[in-house]
Amino acid sequence: MSLTVIGTVALDTVETPFGKLEEGLGGSATHFAASATYFTPLSLVAVVGEDFPEKHLDFFRDRSVDLTGLTRQKGKTFRWKGRYDHDLNTAHTLDTQLNVLLDFHPQLSPAQKKNPFLFLGNIDPVIQSLGIDQMEGKPFIAADTMNYWITGHRDNLLKMLKRVDMLLINEGEARLLADTPNLVKASRIIRGMGPKTLIIKRGEYGALVFHGEEVFNAPALPLEEIQDPTGAGDSFAGGVLGYLAKTQDMSFQNLKKAVIYGSVMASFIVEKFSMDRLRDLNRNEIDSRYRRFCELAHFDNLVGAV
């Protein structure tokens, strides 16, 4: 294994203008893992309840995800229910049931502790810090967070951010965390909190990457078919970290390639509900869409990837 992810595995109920999903496979770690395993071996650390369907575990096994860190506890699995209107950029949360997630304390195996890359999904920053505490050596650590943790658990979040190399958040979260409407100023403030690299996810407008004095504006691919945007950000992160873990190249030029691959994976996940688009996705499709991204933004020097 080269990459460990700590996050949530959930049962999602999602309604969009294009259909509805009842208790499908979801969660931050799920979307991340489904994307990242197209690039690198991955070990998942999460918790599910007694009611978690075996067919969903088979999905992970089919993707060769290491499940030694996935524990099954007495009780019900974490559930999220949401709705999207025609503006697919905004999810309206209808119900959240934390269930077994309330008592989640990640326990990493000896192999997971030695992995050179760690991704911390959108969970309590205290839990994120517990994961960092167990890592050995000097792994590359990336993290995600959300408004709830920024406003309600800021002190714990700031302690965690001091220990990570990369933060991936959306525009609203960046402005809230830095307390400024300007994303360039926000990037400077946030990177002063710890992360050397900040990636701001902008949905249908792509992503902004800030690293040192370098800035990269990655495009988004115009899509005709979008059914469910749930997990797009986690799939994006999975593509980014999966590619970085595969290449072991942390240069800014390679980071730009990683971000494009992240955008590619996010563009696939939204085409169907839950994991349905990734179940039959192949590497040729990924590389073909990567080239489309390159042509879209004239990335002549990026063509010829892995």
Write the DSSP string, 30-95. Answer: HHHHHHHTTTS-EEEEEEEETT--HHHHHHHHHTT-EEEEEEEESSPPPEEEEEE-SSTT-EEEEE
CA distances to 67, 135, 300 from 42, in Å = 9, 15, 31
The answer to whether the beta carbons of residues 44 and 69 sit under 8 Å apart is yes
CA distances to 214, 218, 249, 298 from 120, in Å = 24, 23, 20, 32
Rounding to the nearest 10 degrees, give the CA dihedral for residues 233, 165, 154, 145.
10
pLDDT at 219: 86
pLDDT at 90: 79
For the whole model, what pTM was predicted? 0.93
Strand order in the sheet with 79-84: 19-26, 10-16, 79-84, 91-97
Q: Which CATH architecture has domain 3-297?
A: 3-Layer(aba) Sandwich (3.40)
Angle made by CA atoms 127, 30, 245, in degrees to the nearest 5: 80
Along the chain (306 residues), what's the average pLDDT of each consecutive run of 10 residues? 92 94 95 97 97 95 94 96 85 92 94 96 96 96 96 97 98 96 97 98 91 91 85 96 96 95 95 92 94 74 52
Q: Which amino acid is at 208?
A: L
pLDDT at 17: 92
pLDDT at 91: 84
- Please state the φ and ψ torsions of residue 24, each to the nearest 5 degrees: -85, 170
